[in-house]
């Protein structure tokens, strides 16, 4: 049992829709957590502007400056430790992490993936769902928040949200409906983890 708020870091690579949503959730008075650090691996990520404009402590750790994954992960690990991070949320972080990194943070690193895992691991999930759909039957898609494990898009599932795939869906319309569910799923999963960690 602890009373100090849980110290959270968010990892992201791009637009930062989940980053914004999680930041707002963590800052809500009833959530026993603080957003201590955001780490981004791409200098062109739009989410960095959000961090700058909202005074969110952030670090750009550009993976292209490191010779291999282990060195990059070591830099991330050092930044996370320096900020005394207790829980990590990967939110659109488009880079595989080494098994060593993931094992070090086991059960303290969450990830969001735009599919109903274990279906459609990997990239371009919306496109692949549309390509595979059976038009004579209803088809579902969605998102998953899970605890990260060394294997890509593996790990205990915390929250899943479903959406129906509609006959006239395009990749963009489907992505938008899944994203609307991601914005509900991640805060729910975070609350679940905070309740577990804080006893």
Which residues here bind ligand GRF, judged by CB under 6 A?
Answer: 12, 14-18, 91-92, 112-114, 179, 182
Task: Considering the candidates 58, 63, 104, 113, report the single residue annotated as catalytic.
Answer: 113
| 124 tagged catalytic | no
- Give the nearer residue to ligand GRF in terms of CB position, either 73 or 113: 113
**42 annotated as a binding-site residue:** no
Is residue 20 within 8 A of residue 2, CB to CB? The reply is no
**199 annotated as a binding-site residue:** no
- Give the nearer residue to ligand GRF in terms of CB position, either 92 or 101: 92
- Give the nearer residue to ligand GRF in terms of CB position, either 38 or 76: 38
**84 annotated as a binding-site residue:** no
Residues labelled as active-site residues:
113
Annotated binding residues for (6R)-10-formyltetrahydrofolate, written as ranges, equal: 69, 94-97, 111
Annotated binding residues, written as ranges, equal: 16-18, 69, 94-97, 111
């Amino acid at each position: 049992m602890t009373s100090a708020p849980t110290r959270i870091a968010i990892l992201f690579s791009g637009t930062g829709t989940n980053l914004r949503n999680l930041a707002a959730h963590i800052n809500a008075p009833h959530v026993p957590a603080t957003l201590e650090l955001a780490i981004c691996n791409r200098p062109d990520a739009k989410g960095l502007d959000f961090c700058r404009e909202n005074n969110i402590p952030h670090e750009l750790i550009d993976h292209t400056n490191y010779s291999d994954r282990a060195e990059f992960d070591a830099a991330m690990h050092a930044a996370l430790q320096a900020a005394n991070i207790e829980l990590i949320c990967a939110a659109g972080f488009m880079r595989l992490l080494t098994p060593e990194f993931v094992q070090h943070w086991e059960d303290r690193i969450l990830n969001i993936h735009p599919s109903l895992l274990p279906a459609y691991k990997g990239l371009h999930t919306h496109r692949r769902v549309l390509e595979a759909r059976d038009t004579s039957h209803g088809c579902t898609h969605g998102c998953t928040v899970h605890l990260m494990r060394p294997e890509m898009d593996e790990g205990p599932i915390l929250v899943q949200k479903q959406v129906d795939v509609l006959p006239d869906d395009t990749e963009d319309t489907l992505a938008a409906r899944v994203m609307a569910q991601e914005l509900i799923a991640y805060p729910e999963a975070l609350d679940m983890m905070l309740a577990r960690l804080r006893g």
